[in-house]
Amino acid sequence: MRRWNLIGSLLVLSFALLTTAANAQVSVLAIGALEGSSAGSYADLSGLTYTLENDVPANLLGGLGSGIAWASGNTIVALPDRGPNAVSFNPLVDDTVSYVNRFHTISLNLQPNTGGGLPFVLTPTLQKTTLLFSPLPLVYGSGDGLNIGSGVPPINTRLKNYFTGRSDNFDPSQNSGDAADARFDTEGIRVSNDLKRIYISDEYGPYIYRFNRSSGLRNQVITLPDKFAVTALFPVGSDEIASNIEGRVANKGMEGLAITPDGKTLVGIMQSPLIQDGGTNGSTTRIVVIDIETGTVLHEYAYKCDNIGTAANA
């Protein structure tokens, strides 16, 4: 999880060029800033006009570094994290709010720089903001006992149940891999070879979901083995860590996601070793290889880390 910097929340994109494999040097060609739907507004194209529980605009453009993927030509898709929880709100829900999960489609215009400095001028333009939803009902927190309201987004309809970053949007009777949970901490994003589907990995489940790129509708759930999930669920990450002996470490779920060049396979990697593998004191994290067509986990690998950290920063 990355917290948002709400002051000067710009997406900065830089192009880098690898030279020969012998020296593998990196050269920065251009740097550009994405300003939002109108100059200086820092608003996305979601069309949302209300404010979140922490009084932050629901259409805030920011935190786009969780995942970026090429989507053909000069287009990329960029993924925010679970929402603007850098603004203090309520520690009983880890300061999360009912920010609707989304991805942004951005075009990149690269032109020679005739004014000196870097060799090119990069102009990113926000083309579209796509909100993520399920056509089936999802589980949201009631807010009871937390001194906050319900976690249901105000834009929900019968056939559009939106995913959000709020940490209490789960069913405590199921494990954390329950696809009916509304909570979604988006991390990795990839585009299918036909450019019609978006795959997103998450830290709450950990989940991997497929969405229609045009509409944002979830149309596939890729189920990971139960050993990746926790069984004692809490809205506070440290409580989940203390209460489970197996599964992902809170806020350190499936951080990385890749797709093979033939478009047939997804590869996901956990940010931290699972609790049963030592948690943040462990030495190996897990990689899963998934068949895209069926959603079947084909292989699992242990990846040895040089330094994963300590329990103090879990």
C-alpha span between 170 and 62 (Å, rounded): 25
What is the structure's pLDDT at 8? 30
Is the separation of the CB atoms in 263 and 277 below 8 Å?
no
Quickly count: other Cβ atoms within 10 Å of residue 117's Cβ. Answer: 9
Within a domain: 73: yes
Give the DSSP per-residue string, 130-176: EE-EESS--B----TTTTS-----TT--SS-EE-B--TT-S-TTS-T
Q: CA 64, CA 42: separation in Å to the nearest integer?
A: 12
Residue 2 within a domain = no
- Choose among 258, 173, 160, 262: nearest CA to 215: 160
Compute the distance between CA of residue 279 and CA of residue 150 in angstroms, rounded to an integer. Answer: 32
From 226, 140, 210, 236, select the one nearest 176 (Cα to Cα).
226
Q: With respect to residue 252, please indicate whether it lies within any of the assigned structural domains.
A: yes
What is the residue range of 52's domain?
11-313
Instruction: Confirm whether 3 is domain-assigned.
Output: no
In 3D space, the residue among 223, 238, 242 whose CA is nearest the CA of residue 174 turns out to be: 223
List the 197-202 sheet strands across, edge first.
Answer: 186-191, 197-202, 208-212, 218-222
Does residue 105 form part of some domain? Answer: yes
pLDDT of 83 reads 87
111 domain residue, yes or no: yes
pLDDT at position 86, please? 73
- The tally of domains found in the chain comes to 1
Per-residue pLDDT of the chain (314 residues; tens, 9 = 90+): 333 332 233 344 444 433 445 556 788 889 888 876 655 568 999 999 999 999 999 999 987 878 999 999 999 999 999 988 777 889 999 999 999 999 999 999 999 999 888 999 999 999 999 999 999 999 999 999 888 999 999 999 999 999 999 999 999 999 999 999 999 999 999 999 999 999 999 999 999 999 999 999 999 999 999 999 999 999 999 999 999 999 999 989 999 999 999 999 999 999 999 999 999 889 899 999 999 999 999 999 999 987 655 555 44
* pLDDT (0 to 100) of residue 314: 44
On whether residue 201 sits in a domain, the answer given is yes
Of all helices (H) and strands (E), which one includes residue 240? Answer: helix 237-243
Residue 224 DSSP symbol? P
